[in-house]
Amino acid sequence: MKKIIVFLLLSCTLLKASADEGMWLPMLLGEQVYQDMVKHGLKLSKEQLYSINKSSIKDAIIIFGGGCTGEIVSNEGLIFTNHHCGYGVIAGASTMEHNYLRDGFYAYSKDQEIKSTLSVTFLDRIVDVTNDVEGGVKGLAWADRVKKLQEVFKQITDKVADPANGMQGRVYSMFKGNQYIMYVYKIYRDIRLVGAPPESIGKFGGDTDNWEWPRHTGDFSVFRVYATKDGKPADYSADNIPLKPKWFLPVSIKGFKDGDYAMIYGYPGGTNRYETSYGIKLKNEIENPSLVGLRDVRLKLMYAQMIKDPAVKLKLAENYASVANYWKFYDGETKQLEKYHTYESKQQQEAAFAKWAQGKPEYENLWTDYQKNYDAWRPYAKQRQYVLEGTLGSSLAAFAASLQQVEIALVKQGSTESDAQKALASADAQRKTFLAANDRPSDERILAITTMMFYNDIDKNQHPIGFYEGVKNKFGSLDDESTYRAWAKNVYDNTIIMDDAKWNAFVAKPDANTLQADPAYAYASGFIKNFNLKWGKNSSDFTSRNNELGRLYMKGIMQMNPAAVKKMYPDANFSMRVSYGNVKSYNPRDAVHYDYETTAKGVVDKYIAGDYEFDFPQKALDMFKKKDFGQYIDKSKNDLVVGFITTNDITGGNSGSPVIDGNGNLIGLAFDGNYEALSHKIAFDKDLNRTICVDVRFVLWCIDKLGGAGNIIKELKLVR
C-alpha cells in the first residue's frame, strides 16, 4: 500500500504545476487555471487577458529585440523594457563625448530620440495547428519526421505570411512535440531610444548583486515604436509617426502590499522541467562546470582591462555583461540542483514511470534507451563546451570562424565569383564591427588561456591533429602558460584580420590558400572542423535521439494521469506566456527574513563612492537625503520603493516583462530571479522561487524627478 501511495504522489508531481508554478499559454487558460488566478486576486475577465476579436492585454506585450520582452505604456507607442535589454543600443549610441551609458539619456522631444537597428514583435493571434502538422508527417519514422517537419511548418506559416505588412507565422513545438501551436506575429522595424538611466542606476550592484535579493537596481530603459502614417511597419524614416497601439498598460503609482496579486506576461526563453536524471547528471558534472570555468577566465581578463580605461570599459561593456549574466546563473544552477537533490528526485519519478510502463511496449524500454544515448555522447560533451565557450570565447577566433563561409565560397564546387564576392562583402562589414569592439590585450590573453585549458582538460585523443605539436615545436613547453601567450601574440601579429593592408589585398584578390594559412583562421576553423568532422554526427545523433525519447516520455506522462493534463503547461520556448502569483516576502534560510520590497535607504546603505559596482549619481543621493520623491513616494514608508519580489514563474526572455496588478495596471518590470532558486529551468521551487522586479515608481522617479523628462510622464495613464 505504501508503494502505491508513493507512486501516485510521484505521478502527480510529474504532471501538475504547484503553488505559483506555471508559464501558461494565454489562449489556453483552462477554467481551473483561470479560477486559480481569480483566487490569487485577478479582477479581469479571460477576454481582457487574451482575445482574437478584441484588443486585450496581450496586444501590449512585445518581443523586444531578439531575446527580451517589452510593454507598450502609452497611446504613442512608448515602450518600457529593461536597461540590460537596451544595453547594446545605449552603448552603441555612446561616445566618450556623449557617454549615454555612463551619464544616462532622455529625449525631451521626439526629434531627439535615437534610431536603432532593433525590431519589436507584436502577437496577432495564436492557432493550434497540431492536426495540420501531424497530418503532414503521419506514418514517418523519427528521422524522416524531423526532416519533414520544417517543410510542413513552412507550408503552414506561408498561409499567413504578408511581408508588406510585417506579418509572419512561427510554429512552436509544445510538450516536446506532442502539440504544435502557431503564433502569428507583426514586426515593426523603426524603434528609437527615448531614455535610459545612468549605468550606475541601471546596473547598480553589478555582478555582486546579480541574481541576488535584496536588490536596488533601476533596470529599465525606454523606447518608442514608429510606423507609417497608415500604421504599417517600415524601415526608419523621418516621415514615420509613433504607432497607435491596440492596447497599452496604465501605470499604477498606488503601491501594493505583501500578498497582493501579481501577473507577468512575456516571452520566457527556455525551460526543461521534464528533463531526465541523465540530463541533470550531464549538466552537473560536465556542461555547467565547463561553461562556468571558461567564462570565469574570460570575465577576469576583460575586467582587468576595463578597470584601467573608460574607453575599454565602454568597448567591452555589452560583451562583458552578456558573459557575466549566465556565468553566475549556471554556477548557481548546479549548486541548487545539488542542494535540493534534483537528480535523486528525478530518479524517483522515473522509477514511478517505469513501474507504470511495465507491459506497455511503447514505453517499457524507454530508460534503457535513454541510458544508451547518454553513454554514447558523454565522452564528447566536454569538448563541445570547450569549443563553444573556450575556442570561440576569443572575439578574434569567433570572427575568424565566421570566415568559413568565405572559404566555402572559394573552394566549393559550383560556387561562382558572385558567391565569393557576396561572402567577402559580408565578412568585410562584419570585420569592421569586430575591430570596433575588439580589445587586443584582454582577447589575446583569452586566446592563450582557453587554448591551454583545452590542452589540459580535453582528452588528448580528441585534440586537433598536429596543432599542439606545432605550438610546442615553435613556442615551447605545453605545460607553460608563457608558451601559449607567445603563440597568441604571434596569431595577433600575423593574422590578416588585424592588418588593413593585408586584409584589403585579400578582399581584392581572394585566395583560399591565403585564408587557410592565416594563423587565426587556421586555429578557429581547425578546432571547429576537428569537432564537426569527427564528433559532429555523435552530437546530432544524440540530440535527435534525445528529442525522440523526450517526445515519447512526455506522451507517456500525459497518459499516466489524463485528469491532471488540465493543470499542465509546456516548457518555455520563447512563445508568449502568462504567469501569476503574489508579491511575497520569504525566508531563504534559518533565522533570515527577506522583505518584499527595497527602498532608497538601501541604495544609500550600499553606496560606495567611485566603486565599479556600487557608485550612484550624487544628484540622486542628494534628492534621497531631502526625501524629494514627489508623487512617487510610498507614504507608508516615507521612502521611495526601488524593487520588489513576487512568486511568479519566469526565466530568461522574461527580462523587461511587465508586472501587472489584479486590475491590469503596470506596477513594475521583471528583470531577475533569486539565487536560492536558480534551479528554475529544471525544477521550480514553490517555497523559495522569487522574481526580482524594479518598481515602476522608481522608474518614473528616475525619468521625471532625476532626469527631468516630464514629457515622457505626460504620455502615461497614471493610476493613483
Element (H, E) at 12: helix 2-15
CB 665 within 8 A of CB 249: yes
**10 Å Cβ neighbour count for 234?**
16
Rounded to the nearest 10 degrees, what angle do helices 288-306 and 440-457 cross at? 150
Residues 6+ apart with CB under 8 A from 429: none
| Torsions phi, psi for 194 (to 5 deg) | -110, -35
Radius of gyration of the chain from its Cα atoms, rounded to whole angstroms: 27
Q: Strand (E) positions, 339-412?
A: none
Annotated active-site positions, please? 84, 219, 655
**Grid cell at residue 381:** 560533451
* Peptide linkage before 214 cis (omega within 30 of 0): yes
| Torsions phi, psi for 57 (to 5 deg) | -55, -35
CB 650 within 8 A of CB 634: no
Sign, Cα dihedral of 202, 207, 210, 213: negative
Give whole-number Cα distances, 324 to 199, 285, 292, 330, in Å.
16, 21, 10, 10
CB 72 within 8 A of CB 250: no
| Nearest of 82, 214, 133, 9 to residue 670 by alpha carbon | 82
Using a CB cutoff of 8 Å and minimum separation of 24, what contacts does 361-370 make? 362/552, 362/556, 363/552, 363/556, 366/549, 366/552, 366/553, 366/556, 369/545, 369/549, 370/276, 370/278, 370/549
**Distance (Å, whole) CA 456 – CA 459:** 8
**Distance (Å, whole) CA 419 – CA 410:** 8
CB 422 within 8 A of CB 495: no
Q: DSSP for 150-162, please give it.
A: HHHHHHHHHTT-B
Amino acid identity at 406: V
**Distance (Å, whole) CA 514 – CA 529:** 18
Element (H, E) at 370: helix 366-389
**Distance (Å, whole) CA 78 – CA 164:** 23
Distance from the Cα of residue 209 to its chain's centroid:
18
Residues 6+ apart with CB under 8 A from 679: 333, 336, 337, 340, 342, 685
Return the residue matching grid coordinates 536560492: 676
